[in-house]
Structure 1
């Protein structure tokens, strides 16, 4: 049975990152944007990262410009924004598509594992997928679900 560990993604700095690197960790995979009404969720995502990383948890951020062109920046601009505005320490990856013919294979997998309000399509920025320690998608959460609201679910998986 496939898991997220079967995929590779490019980091914001251009490094090919096999997701197998995160094997054994609980993950929250999020499509992000720097100019979105939900952008302040970076603060909550970083709080989760800092609280639970020592217990084997990581947030993985995937910038996406498919929704209202709310992530127009370059990799350097995205990194600088996340660092200076929200002190983000969790891994950020290169900008990707999450819907359509050019959707990243990881996102095709995630959407196939857990559908949402619009079927498999991602509705907007900051859709969240929670993945257990074995690499399987446990749940999918709408952009309106705050990171803080996921604490109990994350703690149960840790």
Structure 2
């Protein structure tokens, strides 16, 4: 990952990550991971994306990551607020904030941290994307975007 891209990625403290999760994902204490969200949770995917797993195995550089179908899907999904951060959440207490541009460049690096069903969420738009452990990308919009 380039130094410029790295400056656009910030690890959140566990407390800040937990506040983000509670506000935007779930207030239920037993829902501590995206794969533990209850059936019928409001973050239900409505859009399918490309197979991230096949592309992940083929990516060898940041440029390759940015040129692929996964990066195009992520960029189109989070395009409405380019400056607004996207949060990569692997659990209630582990999250990273990054720009949409950094996301397109370093999504394979994030999945190296966790590929166990992480969630991307952009509070400014309410858009979200799940990376399923089976390689499926799926997303949608929760419709509960806070007032600006």
Normalising by structure 2, what TM-score? 0.29
Q: Which has the higher strand share?
A: 2
TM-score (norm 1): 0.28
